Amino acid sequence: MSTIYRGIGIGNTSVQAEAFRIAPRKSLPELAKTFPNVESEMVRYQEALAAFVRQLDAKSAQAQEQSVKEILYAQSVMAQDPELAEMVLQNVKEGWSAESAVQLGMQKFTQELLGASDEFGERVADLREIEYRIIQWLQGEVEEHQLPKTGEIIVVAEDLSPMETATFTDVVKGVVTEKGGPTSHTAIICRQLGIAAVVACTDAMKINNGTSLLVNPTLGTVEIDGTLNANEKPWWHQLPTQANPLAKVFANVGSVKDAQKVKSLNAQGASISSDIRDFFNTSREEFIYLSTVVNAKEVESDRARIGQLFNTKIKEADRDAVLKDFTNGQSAVMAKLRIVSGRYRLTTANEKVPITLVNDFESPVKVDLIFTPMNSRVVFPEYRQITLNAKSKTQVSVPIKTIAAGDTTVIASFQNGKGKVIGANGMLDISSTIISPAVTKFTTGAGVLLILAAVAQSVRRVRKGRKSEK
């Protein structure tokens, strides 16, 4: 009797091939306080982060499926979250090594998602993937699994990250993972690629490399030495045919291509595209938050215009025009409360830079001014509940502390009293070139010597000229 493992099936067609087993990951290092030099340890972290981002970019370039590229991009954005960098910096200042600082920072992020619904709980895997990869780069132990270039295999793993599935080729006929769920990255990507899979498969890591496997996603089973039925058909082929549909068939239409596909399937209707619904929800939130600091009447008419997107009498082509017009109008409204972008060059560890804040509304506003650096090279203060007069431009002198030399992009944003971003952000490009007092003393001394040498040379030339005249 053959051994059968059970889990959650992804796909409709059974496959058979040999197992290609990927070993479980190594454990993360134990938390340790080493009391390192803060600056050098943060440089280690930034270098490891940069290497991980480059690794994501390289895998994204290899990925054939757009959804995989989008997932890798999302992970890149999450990894470069300035809040994470700030947590790492704070932990390093408390004496933790960079590896431990990353783990402690990630713990705070994951606590909010643990215990959530499966859909959000699965996102913890993203954070743990980022944590694991950055620590790998910190320790110089980067794992790369090379899949066979020929033949047919069924990948067996504890779980798979988007970076690992990005390199999938036609060689991969199936996937079996011990962890994961219906909304895990493995499940999502296997659906997109049309690869049969069984996830959340208990004891899957007991399967040996090279074992012949039969993966049946319909039953959610993985059978050792099972036999593939060449005449097997998808489950829906076994259902009786109805002369008349039991339910009306509708579809979401977000593009001309979608509309053409819906027409070919004889669908009986179409709904507003998910893109428009998402835009509506986002825009509505932005206006609600803006209304908490400005006179609600000033944004009331613009906020009301959003409803036009759901007018069923508007044709699809006209709806696109309404959406474009509204997008431009919304941007103009948000830009009434803005921070002017700029470029700054810093040459000392502590320096003040002028930043312009604009309020073009008819009423004064009270906001928080928050600066979010993209790395930990610079440190900014926070300004709570500052008042900007109506129709005003205010310049504030902001003190900046430079931790390490280099380039930094800083997002300057307004927030209401509850931490919600409002108005238009400003982008501050900062180039820090710290010159130590010793270097300053040396260059000043060298400059004096050069001047004295030039004077001496001039005197010699004058004397030589007088001698020639005699």
For residue 440, the model assigns a pLDDT of: 45
Q: For the chain, state the CA radius of gyration.
A: 31
Two tokens, residue 146 = 């090379």
Q: For residues 171 and 182, is the Cβ–Cβ distance under 8 A?
A: no
Two tokens, residue 72 = 């890798």
Digits of tens for pLDDT over the chain (470 positions)? 679 999 999 988 899 999 999 999 889 999 999 999 999 999 999 999 999 999 998 888 888 777 788 788 888 888 888 888 999 999 999 999 999 999 999 988 777 666 554 445 556 778 888 999 999 999 998 887 889 999 999 999 999 988 888 888 899 999 999 998 888 888 988 988 889 999 999 999 999 999 999 999 988 999 999 989 878 777 667 667 767 766 665 665 555 566 666 666 665 555 555 556 666 667 777 877 888 888 767 776 666 666 555 555 566 666 667 767 777 777 888 889 999 999 999 988 899 999 999 999 988 999 999 999 888 788 899 898 899 999 999 999 999 988 888 888 999 999 988 888 899 999 999 998 865 454 444 444 545 555 556 656 665 665 655 555 55
Among the four given CATH numbers 3.40.640.10, 3.30.420.40, 3.40.50.300, 3.50.30.10, the one describing domain 4-23+145-224: 3.50.30.10
For residue 446, the model assigns a pLDDT of: 47
CB atoms within 10 A of CB 461: 9
Domain 38-139, CATH 1.10.274.10 — does that match? yes
Contact partners, residue 117, CB within 8 Å, separation at least 6: none
Q: How far apart are CA 244 and CA 318, in angstroms?
A: 34
Q: Describe the crossing of helices 98-113 and 38-62 by its angle, rounded to 10 degrees.
A: 60
Contact partners, residue 180, CB within 8 Å, separation at least 6: 122, 125, 159, 160, 186, 187, 199, 200
Q: How far apart are CA 87 and CA 279, in angstroms?
A: 32
Q: What is the DSSP letter of 349?
A: S
For residue 263, the model assigns a pLDDT of: 64
Q: For residues 160 and 186, is the Cβ–Cβ distance under 8 A?
A: yes
Q: For residues 279 and 323, is the Cβ–Cβ distance under 8 A?
A: yes
Q: 128's torsion region: left (phi>0), alpha (psi -120 to 50) or beta?
A: alpha
Write the secondary structure of 66-97 as one string of H (helix), E (strand) and C (coil).
HHHHHHHHHHHHHHCCHHHHHHHHHHHHCCEC
For residue 199, the model assigns a pLDDT of: 95
- Shared fold status for 4-23+145-224 and 38-139: no
For residue 76, the model assigns a pLDDT of: 86
Two tokens, residue 358 = 């604009």
Q: For residues 67 and 86, is the Cβ–Cβ distance under 8 A?
A: no
Report CA dihedral (413, 417, 419, 425) to the nearest 10 degrees: -10
Stated as kind and residue range, the H or E segment containing 450 is: helix 437-469
For residue 180, the model assigns a pLDDT of: 87
Q: Which residue intervals of 272-340 are DSSP H helices? A: 274-290, 297-304, 316-334
Instruction: Provide the CB-side half-sphere exposure for 428 (13 A, CA).
Output: 28
Two tokens, residue 55 = 């690794």
Domain 337-432, CATH 2.60.120.10 — does that match? no
Task: Assign 246 to helix, strand or coil.
Answer: coil
Q: How far apart are CA 159 and CA 281, in angstroms?
A: 34
User: Sign of dihedral through CA atoms 342, 346, 350, 354?
Assistant: negative
For residue 183, the model assigns a pLDDT of: 80
N- to C-terminal Cα distance for the chain?
120
Q: How far apart are CA 465 and CA 469, in angstroms?
A: 6
Residue 278 phi, psi (nearest 5): -65, -40
Instruction: Render the burial of 326-359: b for 16+ CB within 10 Å, e for the rest.
Output: beeebeebbebbbbbbeebebeeeebebebebbb
Q: For residues 91 and 376, is the Cβ–Cβ distance under 8 A?
A: no
Q: How far apart are CA 396 and CA 293, in angstroms?
A: 20
Q: Which of 91, 7, 109 minimizes the C-alpha distance to 45?
A: 91
Residue 100 phi, psi (nearest 5): -70, -35
Determine the distance from the C-alpha atom of residue 283 to the mean position of all C-alpha atoms in its chain, rounded to a whole number: 21
Listed in order, strand segments (DSSP E) in 225-278 are 250-252, 269-271
Domain ranges of the chain: 4-23+145-224, 38-139, 274-334, 337-432
Q: Which of 220, 434, 255, 452 minimizes the C-alpha distance to 346?
A: 434
Two tokens, residue 251 = 């579809």
